[in-house]
Amino acid sequence: MNIYLLRHGQTEENRKSSYYGNLDISLNSIGISQGNSAKAFFNDIKLDKVYISDKKRTREMTKLVLGQAEVEIIQDSRINETNFGDFEGKTYQEIKRLYPEECDCWQNNWMEFVPPRGESYIKLCERVKCFMEEIKKLECDNILLCTHSGVIRAIYCYVMNENIDLFWKFGCKNGDISIIKYEFGNLYIDSIIHNAQ
């Protein structure tokens, strides 16, 4: 089985380098262009199922990629981005200024730290693991997950023996495409493609 990971295209919050996961933001013009570019990659791939988060940026990206293709689209909140709680929509500099103590805790224990009214990276990885365990049971040739950078990094960690220490060892730009293969009970990262715009 081929599991294609697609990060949604750019939004204005991405452009500003804000921390956001729960905010429901649309693609900007660059993001739309990245979606059109990704469409060319998927033109000749017959997708059996498509999974998206419950955010409109993944829905909009998927619509651009699929065009008129008839594919089952399943919305699953387990592949939502990390919820940054009160940090949502703020840059790191703003967070450091407004929440200095919390920011120190975040730096000292990034895995377990929970932003006010948010969630930890460990919680993100737990829900992504739950999702991936179900994906492995599918009888499909090609599936697409249109999701977010945190989720994609969590999937990489899951593939690498659930090692969350590797979370920040991967880049993941807007519009990037990765291919995870699941063969003979083994998951591996086949390729990571930068969808440059």
In a domain, 113, yes or no: no
Counted domains in the chain: 1
- Over residues 19-31, the pLDDT tens digits come to 999 999 999 999 9
Does the pLDDT at position 176 exceed 60? yes
Its pTM surpasses 0.85: yes
CATH number of the domain residue 155 falls in: 3.40.50.1240
CA nearest to 150, candidates 9, 11, 18, 20: 20
- Over residues 124-152, the pLDDT tens digits come to 999 999 999 999 999 999 999 999 999 99
In a domain, 95, yes or no: no
- Which sign, positive or negative, has the C-alpha torsion 154, 156, 162, 168? negative
In a domain, 55, yes or no: yes
In a domain, 60, yes or no: yes
In a domain, 58, yes or no: yes
In a domain, 112, yes or no: no
Domain, as residue range, for 35: 2-83+120-193
In a domain, 141, yes or no: yes
Predicted confidence at residue 193, as pLDDT, reads 87
In a domain, 73, yes or no: yes
